[in-house]
Structure 1
């Protein structure tokens, strides 16, 4: 029986997979034109699977595919020419053995010994002539070698051969396809320990790879249809695909991971939207290499950390510009994306994980235990007494933050609330954030606790006019969520502010509001 796969290459006979025929067609068009290119996308973004499926497709069209990965090669392989060339030729032979190319194997056996890049240059020329068919070189995991001179020499040799072949003065690969996180058209290389890093461009012959590797709703649907047919399940594929896309923005790993959780951990066969939401909750509470990489990349770069904080906590709307190295770095690691010219966190699951990470770091620095002890907020029927939660939060701010803390509270207020609420709902509840970019830069939090939903809007007080507008927006949001009561927390930084509570009728909705 097939399974959902989130590790390594996906095999059609073994795994439920998204139908990426349209993506492969676009890549095949690049190959037919003889282009060289790099599939540069974040880790766990389907590059290896795409290369596997592409190689199979090319072989059926009578291309000779030489497919290898730099992942398994030792570091020494990229510092010693002779070792690198030996390993490269060995990988070529492995491909030929698997395809039964005895004539080409004999050609390699009879060839003179190779000791440097220049020897490899002439070997490739003779090999291509002997092959008598179009040869495609595919190299996965090129990032491992991208910071050393030998790799640049190798690319430079391929570049020269490509240009000469175009002039009819040499023979070379019909295509060279590299796969990795970085676009090797622009490499940073430190040639000597006392030199600054320099940009090198030995690969400017490569065309821009524009194929969208994330999955759209139709592609996600193809995977779910396969599952539905195989398991004879009852499920609305379109609605489920839209819900999965809503949380993942089509990130390949996250799409497959949610499906895997529903199938194997929740043990559901007939899926509905609530199963997707439960899978999101399970995913956000687990450790995995994808999330570890996400947080590590934010922790390791102060400027990226600050940019992401501005976007998801302060609600800043920043213009997308790929020339900005911080935005470029965030996009390189799959954290940020360009959404209609605005910089956004790539998907809602990443947003939520980052919120949890930021609020947890703040929680460890604040002493809230006298205020947010969970049992104090649970009603006799097990429901959450959310008005009591807000009143206690108001008391916490009033008693713990004086006027001298205004600047800290203005920067951290919303995170403080998230840190305050977390221990109360932990275990039985789930909170999801939705940044609303508006004049108020409000933050909506949808909290599910048992089977009830609590919607809280956090915003900075900017006067009665914006307050009324915010109430209207919250009322509309309650409508979309089919909830009758909402909650509003206004952070008021005026010196003469009043800590107050108020119940407000907004149309047919009731809103409980506090000011802190």
Structure 2
């Protein structure tokens, strides 16, 4: 009986799960996204490929493997060693890693180039090194090994991997070892060192981190690449994206590959239910963005889970506060958050894209939002005939803040930014479903800026902690500049007093100021 062929998907789609393959998914050419790898391979170098999750690292590695194997000079294999994270000790972890390599070699390579059978190789403490040596000595071509998900290994297991790779690298010309190797993961090798050993401790001359020739970062999609990706769908189905829809999608995602695909997939498959006769508009993009935030897919959840880590909390707090950070370990924390994809790759330090900028504060303030009494947050108190009464809303928040803030903030993990997040939760609870809140935050701004859009109205709010008497005048100047940039005439400066010795009578106030035709309203609390 003839062997049954695996089912092939005839129709391509926007992929949000795992690597992309050209027969199945819309995708840009992955080999154009990373330069210099083939030169490193020709030189027999060991290197690192890193980027945030679902940015295209594995897609690139598969495309590279296919291209180089087709050319026939090398035996190229990508293998995910994530299962090795289950190893109870370094020997067991390295044996599982070897089993992953064995299994993947049988999936992707001709039989003459298969790696050895693990069960036929003894596994002492340097078992993975010996395994790769045996494969290299017996293989007809130089081996290029791309190890994916290397940062899934922890502590001693990860150190064992790097030590054995380094030892094999040093003796490869006499004892055999892969000609070139790429470690693929979330972080650069430098960050592995931070995670494993404090900076004050040396790893000695046997450090495994000195085998890499270069660290390569898979960058975000460019605007041109986003257009190319979306046009593939239009060419395949005849369904166009309006130019403004493409521009808004690019702005909201800032080229984060998973977000681009997730928004497009939601529009095509969920909002329009596969009806390719409809034109994709900017309104569809905004609807998809909101649905994505509310749905919190695995990609977003994995990012949010990182907020619990001290390094991440330090950076996120500084971004939301707009404050100067603790510089003692700040460089490492920034690098770590950039590698996670939480913050933008270039200064100023800010969230990586508007979607993260919205979802992270919303997640951090979700407990507040759910717990605000309905007496305060009932939209009917503030929305009449489709119009939002912002002054009534902010006065109600002043009252709520006076009554509840001390008890609520006392128990909050992100207490340093709790005041701002409490206000955001209050606003979100009221405008949910009928309006939109845009946030602007960056380290060093000294403030958080909010734009609340409801109907055809736009309200500008600046949130600032009052640490000294200078903060109010500084905040008013910042608000005036912000209004100029937005071409708006009215704005609110919300000042949160941090001196607990001051009475509520001193803190709570409402003051209107006029400057150069603009109305500046100070809301103290």
TM-score by length of 2: 0.78
SS of residue matched to 1:58: helix
1:204 and 2:210 matched: yes
Q: Distance in 2 between matches of 1:306 and 1:108?
A: 47
What does 1:158-177 align with in structure 2 at a 5 Å threshold?
A: 158-165=165-172, 168-177=173-182
Equivalent residues, number:
489
Counterpart in the other structure of 2:54: 44
* Residues 352-400 of structure 1: CA deviation (Å, up to 9, x unaligned): 22211232234466x54433321111213x2322232223234444666
- Report deviation, 1:47: 2.0
Aligned mate of 1:390, from 379, 391, 394: 394
Q: In terms of mean alpha carbon deviation, does 178-187 or 15-24 score higher?
A: 178-187
What does 1:471-486 align with in structure 2 at a 5 Å threshold?
A: 471-479=479-487, 486=490
Aligned mate of 2:66, from 56, 61, 66: 56
1:14 and 2:24 matched: yes
- Report deviation, 1:59: 1.6
Q: Distance in 2 between matches of 1:21 and 1:322?
A: 36
- Report deviation, 1:223: 0.8
What does 1:169-318 align with in structure 2 at a 5 Å threshold?
A: 169-184=174-189, 186-187=192-193, 201-237=207-243, 240-267=245-272, 269-299=278-308, 301-302=309-310, 304-312=312-320, 314-318=321-325
- Contact 2:317–2:416 (8 Å) recurs in 1: no
SS of residue matched to 1:430: strand
Q: Distance in 1 between matches of 2:165 and 2:432?
A: 56
Counterpart in the other structure of 1:142: 150
Q: 1:220 to 1:475 in 2, by over 3 A?
A: same
Counterpart in the other structure of 1:377: 382
SS of residue matched to 1:488: strand
- Contact 1:445–1:455 (8 Å) recurs in 2: yes
Counterpart in the other structure of 1:71: 82
Q: 1:511 to 1:2 in 2, by over 3 A?
A: farther
- Contact 2:82–2:153 (8 Å) recurs in 1: no
For structure 2, list consecutive stretches of 5 or more residues without a partner in the other structure: 1-10
Q: 1:169 to 1:450 in 2, by over 3 A?
A: same
* Residues 211-233 of structure 1: CA deviation (Å, up to 9, x unaligned): 33322222222212222322323
- Report deviation, 1:433: 0.9
* Residues 175-230 of structure 1: CA deviation (Å, up to 9, x unaligned): 11122234456458989xxxx99798324211232333322222222212222322
Q: Distance in 1 between matches of 2:93 and 2:428?
A: 55
Counterpart in the other structure of 2:12: 2
Q: 1:336 to 1:232 in 2, by over 3 A?
A: same
Q: CA RMSD in A?
A: 4.0
Counterpart in the other structure of 1:454: 459
Q: Distance in 2 between matches of 1:226 and 1:90?
A: 36
Q: 1:358 to 1:30 in 2, by over 3 A?
A: same
Q: Distance in 2 between matches of 1:426 and 1:36?
A: 51
Q: Distance in 2 between matches of 1:456 and 1:89?
A: 55
- Contact 1:430–1:447 (8 Å) recurs in 2: yes
1:356 and 2:366 matched: no
Aligned mate of 1:414, from 393, 400, 420: 420
Q: 1:154 to 1:414 in 2, by over 3 A?
A: closer
* Residues 386-437 of structure 1: CA deviation (Å, up to 9, x unaligned): 23222323444466679xx99x999643223212212211233321211266
1:345 and 2:351 matched: yes
Aligned mate of 1:427, from 433, 439, 459: 433
* Residues 29-63 of structure 1: CA deviation (Å, up to 9, x unaligned): 32233221122333323222121112112222223
Counterpart in the other structure of 2:38: 28
Q: Distance in 1 between matches of 2:26 and 2:252?
A: 20
1:336 and 2:331 matched: no
For structure 1, list consecutive stretches of 5 or more residues without a partner in the other structure: none
Q: Distance in 1 between matches of 2:207 and 2:422?
A: 46
